[in-house]
Chains A and B, each alone.
Chain A
Amino acid sequence: MRKRTLRVFATAMVLSLAASLFTGCSSGNKQGSSDTTQGGADTTQAAGGSGDASGSGAASSSGKDTLIIVTANETPSVTTNLHNAVAGDYLNRMTHNCLFYMDENMAVQPDLVESYENPSDTEWVFKLKQGVKFHNGEEMKAADVKASLELCKVSPDVSLYGTSTGTIEVVDDYTVKITTDGPQSGLLIDLCHHGNAILPAALIESGHDFNKEPIGTGPYKLTAWNKGESLEFEAFADYFKGEPPIKKVIWKVIPEGSSRTMALEAGEADLIVEVENNDLSRLADNSKVAVFNEGSTSHNFMMINNEKAPFDNVNFRRAIDAAIDKNAIIQVALNGAGTVADSMVPDCFPGTTNEGAPTYDVEKAKAYFAESGLNAADCGFALICSDDTKLRVGQVIQSCLKENLGIDITLESMDLATYLDVTATGDYDAAIGGYTSNSLLAYAQGVYHSDSINASNKTRTNEPEIDALIEKIQATVDQAENEKIVTEFNLAINELCPQVPLYMRNNVRAYDSGLAGFNLNAGGNTYYDWMSWGN
């Protein structure tokens, strides 16, 4: 009897485990899904032929109408004013438009704006395109622009991009006037940021949950967000620039770099956003994969606390800058996917220059060090490295400083939250960091202006002359004049050497070679509605 009970129990256990396996699988597919609008997509079918692994490289592109993009990070939000995450920016570009956008050459171009004029240094009048539809069918008008730009100003995640917009007035249904608080040369660039994306005023007012249903004017509509897994989009038929050629786009989250590469090789992905440096050569050798590997605006440097000794000595700062072999860093840490940075600002913007900035030269480094009057034994410091790539950068710096100047440094690993905290408050010696910006003005304000101390000015540079030059760049709307001041500022900051520039990281993407119209500007913006399959 007891034996029978045990057997019945064992059979029941096996059956229930098997049942949980099957029910679990189906729930895994549906329960995580939060359909946002009509027509939730069937993810399995959505592979559109690319889901079948061939094992011989990226799948054939013929007959596809789906693009599967793989990324490492899931966005915290798809609501344009509630995040400043790169992962979210990629998605916002699909569902929303701003008044302006940055083209492939980083030039500002009108997007929702038909034309604009600048009657004085502080007045901007924008004529909006007519007939632009939101995803809910409503027409975009001037009241929507005013409500959206004002929302940006009061949202802490993006308000940085709402400081230049001043007072916003609706002139008529298709005309908006902005009166800035003093001349603002960065206005048009700020208007390209997703924080200033245009949303329907009525929905803003009613407290609509844009994270569940992001309504914009963009080329794609979000159809489903499977939390932790994927986001699905379908083409917006009434898009004002015409319905996109690729009808369905799926963003999949794969955190592990090698798995992302293998997903592309197996044909499960069509485009990888973050490519592992170690996999670059393998992917480049695959005839079915195209690799994009070009310069970006991402300036990476060793940030040093200028308030602390020995970094308060300008000759010491120059000495360590000249003692570090930046080419070695690019090879060791980035597998070659970058270029040497010598200038104290990204040298991709108009008016910037390398003049006056130290370059790798061991003899000069020794001379600067001698001039500093410091003793190598007293100059050791701790260098914070908050991820694996930074750790590899740190190892090269450690070796260079020991070999060339006899300075011992220690490498300190730290998680991102702690790193952000200690570097913002100045409770550190040195750290590997970076800053990505779409304009020189934003970079200069964030990295060197004294107003940003205890935030993004981590070198704690506090020079009235530098502040004045940054404010002058901000206030000079005339482009030619603006470039002259940028050069003046760049020379001054190169002379001051408040940080040790290391490299400009490349933008790297790998994608199915059948994908046409791939585009990516130096700021990392891709316009997915420009892409198509075949030809």
Chain B
Amino acid sequence: MIKFIIKRLVALIPVLLGVTLLVFFILDLAPGDPAKTILGEQARPEDIAALREEMGLNDPFIVRYGRYMFDLVQGDLGTSYKTRDPVGEEVWARLPNTITLALTSTVVAILLALPLGIIAAIKQNTLFDGVSMFISLLGISMPVFWMGLLLILFFSVKLGWFPVAGADQGIKSLVLPSVALGFMHMAAIARTTRSSMLETIRQDYIRTVRAKGLPEHEIITDHALRNALIPTTTVIGLQIGQMLGGSVLTESVFAWPGIGRYMIQSIQGRDIPSVMGCIIIFAIGFALINLLVDLIYGFIDPRIKAQYK
């Protein structure tokens, strides 16, 4: 198992190299000059030229990329063009918020999706199935910013239960963004759970345990669900990965100080070091989540665990 984990971590190095080169190259090709964006509409040509020189933008691509990678291997994510602060500081200040939101949203999504998916499968083609799938359809169809605004209007403005925005009131601040984001991600998990449960409960071994007279709830929870969880776990892993980098709208509506919004602002400002810093963190996060998902497979199904060498 340890060997497997080390192998996977080593495999991360070429992935990160490829990601940095690709993103650096794409940002270099993108139209828009970071110096002009920072100085704005009223900039003078001489100020733009001076700032370009100060930021090292006049050097060739390979020199800039080489310099970036040299600093990166020493643990330095560079200095933001826009704020002139170390990117590492900027990212670390926001990363805990992003991880917190991603995890709590996942909890919300799982708590909603698993019961919905299981009920829809075991009560297939009944009213329960229809209602469960309608709720999950609602989650996937409703734009998250709209859902967010409705939640704010009702729970914050009308009832005053939760703050409108920000992350300064602990758990109270976390409830509405987690529900908005979790509700959206619930849909995919519920649908996957339903289809894999449907496939599992038709297997021969389920028929066998049923013939042996086991109670229905034990058949579902101990025998069917366990096998049905493998595709669901994959989807949950992918959803967490998406939430780490893709909760920009939720962060904007609820003014959640996360990394997604920071990255979008950096892309708009052509702040290459900041974008690179975020992408590297996302790539590492995504790879680690995939690794965790693979390890969880082993706990769910010992046959998979036996293959970890």
Q: Residues of A with Cβ closer than 8 Å to B?
A: 2-3, 5-6, 9, 17-18, 20-22, 24-29, 31-32, 34, 43-44, 51-55, 76-77, 79, 82-85, 156-157, 159-160, 211, 226-230, 252-256, 258-259, 262-263, 265-266, 268, 415-418, 420-422, 424, 433-435, 437, 446, 451-452, 454-456
Contacts and interface: CB of A to CB of B under 8 A. Distances in A.
B167 to A, nearest CB: 5
Contacts of B42: 84, 160, 435, 437, 446, 456
Q: 4 tightest A-B contacts by CB?
A: A417-B32, A24-B100, A228-B257, A53-B160
Contacts, number: 223
B262 interface: yes
Contacts of B54: 156
A119 B254 CA distance: 57
Contact of A266 (B90, B160, B262, B300): B160
Contacts of B164: 53, 254, 259, 262-263, 266, 268
B231 interface: no
A55 B44 CA distance: 48
Contacts of B99: 20, 24
Interface string B251-267: 01111011001100000
B285 interface: no
B7 to A, nearest CB: 23
A228 B258 CA distance: 7
B171 A157 contact: no
A420 B36 contact: yes
A420 B168 contact: no
B145 interface: yes
A230 B166 CA distance: 9
B25 to A, nearest CB: 17
A387 to B, nearest CB: 11
B217 interface: no
A27 B39 contact: no
16 contacts: A25-B173, A29-B168, A55-B157, A82-B84, A156-B48, A160-B42, A227-B94, A228-B97, A229-B168, A259-B255, A263-B165, A417-B37, A418-B30, A451-B44, A456-B41, A456-B42
A417 B252 CA distance: 20
Interface in B267-291: 268-270
Given A268-B163, A456-B43, 18 more contacts: A21-B104, A24-B97, A28-B96, A44-B169, A55-B158, A84-B39, A159-B47, A226-B168, A227-B257, A253-B257, A254-B164, A255-B252, A255-B255, A265-B157, A268-B164, A415-B32, A424-B36, A456-B41
A374 to B, nearest CB: 30
A420 B107 contact: no
Interface residues of B, number: 75
B84 A228 contact: no
Given A21-B107, A456-B43, A76 B149 contact: no
A22 B82 CA distance: 33
Interface of B: 30-45, 47-48, 50-51, 54, 82-85, 89-90, 92-94, 96-97, 99-100, 103-104, 106-107, 145, 149, 152-153, 156-161, 163-171, 173-174, 222, 226, 252-255, 257-258, 261-262, 268-270, 299-300, 302
A420 B37 contact: yes
Which among B50, B104, B226, B257 has the highest number of chain A CB atoms within 10 Å? B257
Given A21-B103, A259-B149, A433-B41, A227 B90 contact: yes
Nearest to A417: B32
A147 B261 CA distance: 37
Contacts of A24: 96-97, 99-100, 103-104, 174
B33 A76 contact: no
A258 B254 CA distance: 10
B215 to A, nearest CB: 14
Contacts of B107: 17-18, 21
Nearest to A229: B257
A418 B32 contact: yes
A76 B299 CA distance: 47
Contacts of B253: 256, 259
A54 B92 CA distance: 35
A25 B160 contact: no
Nearest to B222: A3
A455 B48 contact: yes
B221 to A, nearest CB: 10
A20 B226 contact: no
A524 B75 CA distance: 42
B84 to A, nearest CB: 6
A395 B187 CA distance: 37
Given A76-B83, A77-B83, A157-B51, A255 B31 contact: no
A164 B24 CA distance: 39
B50 A229 contact: no
A420 B40 contact: yes
A430 to B, nearest CB: 16
